A and B are shown apart, each in its own frame.
Chain A
Amino acid sequence: MRGFDEIDHYEALEVPRDASPAEIERAYRMLLATYGTDSLATYSMFGEEESASMRDRIEAAYRVLSDADLRRTYDAAQATDGAPAEAAAEEEPVVLAPLAEAALAKPLVETRAREAPAFERIADEDAADESAWDGARLRRARLQRGIEIDDLASATKITPAYLRFLEEERFDDLPAVVYVRGFIASYARYLGLDAQHVARSYAARYEEHRRAKPKGRLLGRR
């Protein structure tokens, strides 16, 4: 538990130290919305002044972590001067203050080797689920991450209409399987899913549907 001025850039964005640029980008957008004016989640907890200083802190963290060079310099500086709280705690276990704070900074349950950013952790169950990837499951996975169709469209350069067709499994309105496979891979990648696996699973459904229909695309059309 520390003040805004005492946390480092990674803590400010609530991402692990090895977060990918995409994860940093998503965390930044999520937090800006969280601490924005009129935010449902914060208006009753933080005054406008506090929210503003929180936004400044988030912006400052993003400026550094979103720039590969600045981030490298920052990481190097942190590694040399006393920053890592864990190291301090290990060297001087009798000093109470850093020990307690180091404990706070660490996740309670360390089961995974690599901890996903907080707001993406909800996605873990997707990986465990063995069933096929259909349109409804894709939509659920998207909503679970709080991603709108428009966000996805601008990130993947797939039109919102196609994205909806993919989710609604309107196979007849979709292009050939190679394109669909590519679409699904981009979609899955943006969600942080195993792109290859998801694309293969979805494409199988698509091809099955195509096979079930009479031969010849023109005849098959509605």
Chain B
Amino acid sequence: MSTRHAARVEAPPSGPHLLAVGGGKGGVGKTLLVANLAAALAQAGRRVVAIDTDLEGANLHTVLGVPVPRASLADFVAKRESDLRKLLVDTPIPGLRLIAGTHGHLGSPQPRSFRRVALLGELRKLPADHVLVDLGAGTHPSVMDYFLVGDDGILVLTPEPTSVENAYSFLRAAFYRRLRLAMTSESARTLVHQAMDQGNQRGIRTPLDLLREVRSIAPEEGERFANAVQSFRPRIVVNAARSAEDVRLGFAVRSVCKKYFGIDADYVGYVNHDEAVTHAIRQRRPVVVTHPNSDAAVYLVRIARKLLDASRRRGPRPPSARAHAGPVHARRPTA
């Protein structure tokens, strides 16, 4: 049910550039990345909204130097407020506003699927050039939906086995969810669903096995499958890198994406382990603001610039220019 609704909200191609930052594991630097990319984009003169969807462990407001706000996304989830724009609060950084994720419902913090669809639609109406979405940990369907409807999805990982494992779980969840959305027939969707069970009886072990199965039942679904795979371009960021070997991890993960999932992931950069980051968090400000000359800040600004270039290359958002921006499926999940 929710999946089909999610597919529908992807249709309106106007509004802000939507960038989701996830990573499966908690504590890998999702919030750090969102706060700093948002600040860097705002410093570059863009109108930016950062939104904390981690209603169970919200702290984006703290990293941005905003005292615990009264209004939060939780008000939207609980239907106390239906207009996201009314939940915007200013941050100390000019051009950057926040929708906090504080005081979520302790029992059921995640929005139900209908509310989620409304929320995903509302994100596109925010008065901004970029909306950066800070995702919670794990692979809950709501987390995956934010990741998949975004124009860009960043996967953050650190050079630790636990983080790398969770990053792959996250990628796998996103990959199969996206494929299931792309399938039109019930039989193909069932097949994808079966493949998501990693101990399935049909012997589908890899995405390649699945593609062959899908193709064998319906060639046109096979083509949709291939298109969905091709247009899925997650971006990779390695955080807390301490050595050249850590930096290489991004290339290695990229290679696995290609050789296992068949997807072209883009390694957009890394952020080195830097004391300046710790100092900045204590000052409750993004490191690109407090220590603009630190290595971490230099790398973060580079990533921001790269994302900005990529969003420009895809073409400006006004309808008049959209015709030149290439096929819709190249920019958006599910063609």
Residues of A within 8 A of B (CB): 1-4, 14, 30-31, 33-34, 39-46, 54, 96-97, 99-101, 103-104, 107-109, 111, 118-119, 121-122, 125, 140, 142-148
Contact = CB atoms under 8 A, between A and B. Distances in A.
Given A1-B226, A97-B222, A100-B222, 9 more contacts: A1-B208, A34-B251, A41-B253, A96-B215, A104-B230, A121-B266, A125-B305, A143-B247, A143-B272
Interface of B: 159, 161, 164-165, 168, 207-208, 211, 215, 219-220, 222-223, 225-227, 229-231, 233, 241, 243-245, 247-256, 258-262, 264, 266-270, 272, 295, 298-299, 302, 305-306, 313, 330
A108 B164 contact: no
A111 B253 contact: no
Contact of A125 (B227, B254, B302): B302
A118 B251 contact: yes
Nearest to A1: B262
11 contacts: A1-B208, A1-B261, A39-B252, A44-B164, A46-B256, A96-B220, A108-B230, A125-B302, A143-B272, A144-B269, A148-B245
A118 B211 contact: no
Identify the interface centre among A96, A99, A107: most chain B CB within 10 Å of its CB: A96
A111 B309 CA distance: 12
A54 B244 CA distance: 23
A168 B295 CA distance: 15
A148 B256 contact: no
A134 to B, nearest CB: 12
8 shortest interchain CB distances as A-B pairs: A1-B262, A41-B252, A146-B248, A100-B226, A34-B252, A119-B251, A44-B165, A146-B247
Contact of A96 (B222, B260, B305): B222
Given A40-B164, A104-B229, A108-B264, A99 B223 contact: yes
Contacts of B272: 143
A109 B313 contact: yes
A194 B206 CA distance: 41
B256 A42 contact: yes
A100 B208 contact: no
A107 B264 contact: yes
Given A99-B223, A122-B269, A14 B252 contact: no
Nearest to A2: B208
Contacts of A96: 215, 219-220, 222-223
Contacts of B159: 40
A42 B262 contact: no
Contacts of A148: 243-245
Contacts of A31: 255
Contact of A1 (B165, B211, B223, B330): B211
Contacts of A14: 255, 258
Contacts of B247: 143-146
Contacts of A97: 215, 219, 222
A34 B260 contact: no
A41 B246 CA distance: 10
Given A97-B222, A146-B248, A108 B233 contact: yes
